[in-house]
A and B are shown apart, each in its own frame.
Chain A
């Protein structure tokens, strides 16, 4: 009690110095809070953008991309059976104008897989791997519909050799005007898996999840629904079959979004791919195990490419990722510099204060105060100063975080899969499907930046301030401990 009252009165006596030291620490702490809250806010923004893939940070998706490049062996690496399957799945879908007469109307549809399919039995194999919490299969296909009237001259339009249509929208095909070219991406979803898969139930904006496995039900991507002007309860045709729209979902940037989601078994049957899937959604038991698990999966499924949430995050560009890399790099430097200078200022002030108290501290030594009591006194004063600075810093930091949230910019996240997607150019006829998907998933989303201050951050900041105070106190205490008690007898001030 005596010690404490002495500490307080010392700090009161050197009011200006105390305030200055505390302010120095406060600015440092406020900066730490501001930068950390900014970085936490950016993390949250990214998590929001990447959800569900980063929702728990433990998700992966497994595909077998069609690897064709000048350096890889390409088709040679595939077995003959796989080549045959590939040909079937990605085949040119001959429109077969030869059978038609000029002026005759026609409609041809074909399903194309953007990736190699594999047996859905792999799902069970993968789900049994160590570190895998659950695994669910999915099938994502492009349904191309070519319809129109046979043109008078057929030599220019085989419909399979020229460039891709843009996006998933219809039209844009630079063939004869009388031919419509429409493409829609469809994902087959296991209705029993509501939290893992091409779409999850919490992505639903309106309507419901699949309620039946026998009735033809579809969930529409909100963009597609808007474009087609469809609402819950409407019907939509898919390869001649009528589906009821039960839900509208908003898929996040980075998630491989399709235009339509239907029951997996129904799609497999429709596309003639019974028992085949081309995407496996895997959830790991822990985020730390993701790397190991993804290696194991690659062993189980040949030529598999495992996309983790982490690798997806690296494909996020735009202001969000710029801000993120800026805060992580500059933010740390800023925090370190601010804290270091605060500690230095505090140390210097403590040192001068100790020098000015030579006689006082010497007197205490002469009175029989042990070394540790002197050290505790100086350190205690610094600790109180640190606490004061910490509290002021938290107030300043919260203010700064509030300002960031209030006037914070809206960040744009662009997901650009072309940076990693291997399928693409030069695949020959019938490969435009892959490009198509790339085009449809290169999307962007805007997020409002909200500086996030967690209680842990506040506690940490105050602890940091106390530590900084103690560090400065240690410098002063060390000096005080070296004082000789004989200094108390000095006659000059």
Chain B
């Protein structure tokens, strides 16, 4: 079986700054990986490369065998729409529309019939435990609820991989715990491939695998026993 990600000798430079330095990394389907490391260690840059948001300066980023550096803008857009789900630290929900509409906006490029889309939105809200909160705008939801809406939105198009950038960074411990538990559940029950960035060791410990970065390189790669 082809790994979801296969990174070979990947370097990403921003001017003189080397954000990711000759990095190799393989992520298999169904893995729940936590990437940890201090600020400026290149975690976010790595996530951007994984998320087809940016291209490496050199090296190969293979997603299911395809080199992302060789794909055109349209192909990358399609990939983001169909294969990759994003969860952000600041939730990045559209503030003007309701939770349900936020999810619907992610479904929009697929052009589903109205009824089908509505059903799918309800289903996704149920997955994250917010069946009754869909009609609220983000500002009427708690931080934890907002992040759950964001996860539902990320799952909207049944992505093969879910990328989360510090998903608990803006949440208190209890809400953070709930979010991590949700991601854990998705990985364990559904076999959802999850890559998350965090600098919270307690969050990282709940993943199946912890990758530690420093100065753009992987300094430690540890598989955790599943409790």
A binding-site residues for B, Cβ under 8 Å? 1-3, 5-6, 9-10, 12-13, 359-360, 363-371, 373, 484-486, 488-489, 491, 493
Contact = CB atoms under 8 A, between A and B. Distances in A.
25 contacts: A5-B97, A6-B97, A9-B101, A359-B92, A360-B94, A363-B86, A364-B94, A366-B51, A366-B53, A367-B105, A368-B77, A368-B78, A368-B79, A368-B82, A368-B157, A369-B77, A370-B81, A371-B73, A373-B108, A373-B109, A488-B88, A489-B44, A489-B88, A491-B89, A493-B90
Residue from the set B47, B82, B88, B114 with the largest chain A CB neighbour count within 10 Å: B88
B53 A484 contact: yes
B95 interface: yes
Interface in B82-118: 82, 84, 86, 88-90, 92, 94-97, 101, 104-109, 114, 117
B56 to A, nearest CB: 13
A371 B54 CA distance: 15
Given A485-B53, A486-B54, A6 B96 contact: yes
Contacts of A366: 51, 53, 80, 86
7 A-B pairs with the lowest CB-CB distances in the bound complex, closest first: A368-B81, A9-B96, A368-B80, A363-B92, A13-B96, A486-B53, A485-B53
A489 B92 CA distance: 9
Contacts of B51: 366
Given A484-B53, A486-B48, A489-B53, A370 B74 contact: yes
Contacts of B165: 489
Given A367-B86, A368-B77, A13 B95 contact: yes
Q: How large is the interface on B (under 10, 10 to 19, 20 to 34, 35 or more residues)?
A: 35 or more
Contacts of A489: 44, 47-48, 53, 88, 165
B206 interface: no
A368 B88 contact: no
Contacts of A9: 96-97, 101
B153 interface: yes
A12 B96 contact: yes
A1 B114 contact: yes
Contacts of A486: 48, 53-54
Contacts of A368: 77-82, 84, 106, 109, 157
Given A366-B53, A369-B109, A488-B92, A2 B101 contact: yes
A493 B78 CA distance: 27
Contacts of B101: 2, 5-6, 9
Residue from the set B108, B114, B153 with the largest chain A CB neighbour count within 10 Å: B108
Nearest to A367: B106
B53 A491 contact: no
A484 B90 contact: no
Contacts of B92: 359-360, 363, 488
A373 B79 CA distance: 16
Nearest to B77: A370
A364 B88 CA distance: 12
B75 to A, nearest CB: 11
A461 B44 CA distance: 50
Given A370-B74, A486-B54, A488-B53, A2 B47 contact: no
Given A368-B81, A488-B86, A489-B47, 11 more contacts: A5-B101, A6-B94, A6-B101, A10-B96, A13-B95, A13-B96, A365-B77, A368-B82, A370-B81, A485-B53, A489-B53
